[in-house]
Amino acid sequence: MDNITDYVRWYGAIDFEGRPFTRVDNIVLSQLAYLDLKDIPELYSGDGAMTIKDAVGYLTAHGISIRKMAPDDSIRFTNLVKACANSKRFGNLYISSFSDVFNEEDSIQFSAMTFSPDPKGGWAYVGFRGTDSTIAGWKEDFMMSFMLTSSQKMAADYVKKSLETFDTIMTGGHSKGGNLAIYSAAVLPDELFNRVEHIYTNDGPGFCPEVLKEDLIKRANPKTTRIIPQFSVVGNVFAPKVDDSHVIKSDKQMGDQHELCSWLIDHGDIMLAPEGLDPIAEKINTGFDKWIYSVDIDERKRFINALFDAMSDDGTLTVEQFSAQGTKAWERVLNVVMGDDEGFRIAAASLPDQLLLDGAGKKVAKTGLVRQFRKSDLAKGLAMILAGLVIFLIPEAFMFLFVSILLCAATIISIVLCVKKMKKDNWNFQPHLVDATVASALLATTVITFVKEGAFFVMASGIFAALLFACAYNCFARAKKTHNKPFVITLIIMSAIWAVSGIYILFAPENTLAVYMIIVGVLAIVDGLIRVLKAYRIRHRWYVK
């Protein structure tokens, strides 16, 4: 199966007069826009121009590696760049107006370059780079969900300036670059927009309707081509409504299909995937869209700023650096997601709810009874005391009973939701493959847990440990919000005991379960009494006033 490097080798001997510009050429140039050219003074420091062949030759002659400014398949990228440099079709194209701007403080990551047969006029392809591996770049991507970003404004200025030199232009890019390609052309005044021959977005996200007027996208639609792989996630965030949209095959799996070098070519054109989008990708896209719209724009802004500030803490600049820090890095993120801010906790919990339950959890949470319970320390305290008393009554059976109810409820709800969706869609199974897979997995897990010898205790221990860790975190979070010193000390001690209990149940033998559960029952009653006492103190102060 051929990819874009094979395309360059097959058609590299034919210039653009012999074979007009194609949508595959667009993919190639969008990939070349990831070239790191900062070490070439003629391109980076001045207004110079250099052919692709000469630029690659300069890097090679000076011992500078051909670097791709994105965290994916660099070997394929290097092979593509060398093939382009050695070809007549691409090697003779000039690179000009190279721009590379990075500002961590203001969350700006912007890069663009112009490809043309003649750097002084004629036609040109303006290629916008997608997101690189910097955290600032990733943050800017998410900022598109609540504001116009600096990169979008810079892209618009870049295209205007390009039209001062060239008669006609095409704009294009991959990932965020595709978004910039559409935006930069769509906001042009009429006399300049008429000189835009075509717009290409390659698995690029669309635009938040709360931020950008839909009329601008409609204006760009007749000139736009949109190409996405079967497992498109990035390109379906606020999916742009483009009539000329195509799903291309890739030789990679799932999220790796985002890489342009994995896209397949057939007889000089893109290899279409007649089956369309992958059902799992569609499920993720639907869930993510619902999540975005379920969180108001101000809350989105707060959540995204806090999340990426946590990621870049301790001077972390790139996604690779963040990943290398291991659990320490993820602890910072969890402190934001599950910390004191209730809005952040709700926003974080809403994503898996939308992905797995189509927002059913949020609907339940909005019911009057549940809302009252969540707001009432007295109700929570009484519930904890009741749970503790039940544990005292049936210490050996409580954990098994609790986990049995939880597993059965989750399985039944999952199956019912899946059946309802398929019935609503005239029993069309394909769009609901993910729901059916989740329901089947839950059913299999439940059956194995009940039937296989020893499986129930292992499963119950794991689930119950997770519950106890949640109780530990809850106590710690309450301690941080409490100003009464005795309460703070008590809650911190409780948090430690809950955590130790969670660790213990993971390794404890089954014959110690009764004693262990009595200890958990005592903890639940004490925790409940603390909540009741706090509620009483608050009410007492109110009555005194």
> Collapsing DSSP states into helix, strand and coil, what is residue 146?
coil
| Other CB atoms within 10 A of residue 66 CB | 18
pLDDT at 325 over 80: no
Q: pLDDT digit string (tens) for 469-494?
A: 888 887 887 787 777 788 788 888 88
Q: pLDDT digit string (tens) for 208-245?
A: 777 677 777 888 999 999 999 998 887 777 888 899 99
Name the DSSP class of 93. Answer: P
Q: Distance (Å, rounded) from C-alpha 195 to C-alpha 200?
A: 15
Closest CA to 40 of 69, 10, 64, 16: 64
Q: pLDDT digit string (tens) for 18-51?
A: 999 999 999 999 999 999 888 888 888 767 899 9
Give all domains of the chain, ordered by start, each with its CATH number.
2-286 (3.40.50), 295-366 (no CATH), 375-545 (no CATH)
State mean pLDDT over 52-74. Answer: 79
Closest CA to 32 of 72, 71, 86, 85: 85
Query: What is the predicted pLDDT for the residue at 26?
Result: 97
Q: pLDDT digit string (tens) for 363-373?
A: 655 666 666 66
State mean pLDDT over 255-266. Answer: 89
Q: Distance (Å, rounded) from C-alpha 545 to C-alpha 534?
A: 17
Query: What is the predicted pLDDT for the residue at 446?
Result: 84
Band (543; pLDDT cuts 50, 70, 90): very low
Q: Distance (Å, rounded) from C-alpha 193 to C-alpha 48?
A: 26
Distances (CA, A) of 289 to 207, 229, 285, 377: 12, 18, 6, 34
Band (264; pLDDT cuts 50, 70, 90): very high
Q: pLDDT digit string (tens) for 485-525?
A: 887 888 888 888 888 888 888 887 877 778 878 888 888 88
- Give long-range contacts, CB 8 A cutoff, 24+ apart: 325-334: 333/307
The larger pLDDT score, comparing residue 349 to residue 532, is at 532
Query: What is the predicted pLDDT for the residue at 1?
Result: 74
Query: What is the predicted pLDDT for the residue at 272?
Result: 92
Query: What is the predicted pLDDT for the residue at 408?
Result: 87
- For 228, counting Cβ atoms within 10 Å of its Cβ (0-12 exposed, 13-18 middle, 19+ buried), the class is buried
pLDDT at 105 over 90: no
Question: What is the percent of the chain where pLDDT is above 70?
Answer: 86
What is the average pLDDT value for the chain, to the nearest integer?
82
- Give long-range contacts, CB 8 A cutoff, 24+ apart: 19-24: 19/89, 21/125, 21/170, 22/268, 22/269, 23/200, 23/225, 23/227, 23/269, 23/270, 24/265, 24/268, 24/269, 24/270
| Other CB atoms within 10 A of residue 512 CB | 11
State mean pLDDT over 125-144. Answer: 80
Please answer whether residues 394 and 412 qualify as being in contact, where contact means their C-beta atoms are separated by less than 8 angstroms: no
The larger pLDDT score, comparing residue 465 to residue 310, is at 465
Band (345; pLDDT cuts 50, 70, 90): low
The larger pLDDT score, comparing residue 78 to residue 437, is at 78
Query: What is the predicted pLDDT for the residue at 127?
Result: 96
**Sheet of strand 2-3: strand arrangement:** 2-3, 264-266, 269-270
Please answer whether residues 276 and 248 qualify as being in contact, where contact means their C-beta atoms are separated by less than 8 angstroms: no
Q: Distance (Å, rounded) from C-alpha 361 to C-alpha 73?
A: 39
Closest CA to 27 of 379, 262, 220, 365: 262
Query: What is the predicted pLDDT for the residue at 7?
Result: 94
Band (544; pLDDT cuts 50, 70, 90): very low
Name the DSSP class of 515. Answer: H
Per mean pLDDT, which range of 108-122, 300-314, 488-502 is the poorest?
A: 300-314
**0.75 exceeded by the pTM?**
no
Q: Count how many Cα atoms sit within 13 Å of the Cα of residue 207 in the half-sphere of its side chain.
A: 26
> Collapsing DSSP states into helix, strand and coil, what is residue 97?
strand
Closest CA to 516 of 530, 531, 527, 500: 500
User: What is the residue whose two structure tokens read 């295209």?
Assistant: 159
- Dihedral angle, C-alpha 56, 25, 271, 287, nearest 10 °: 90
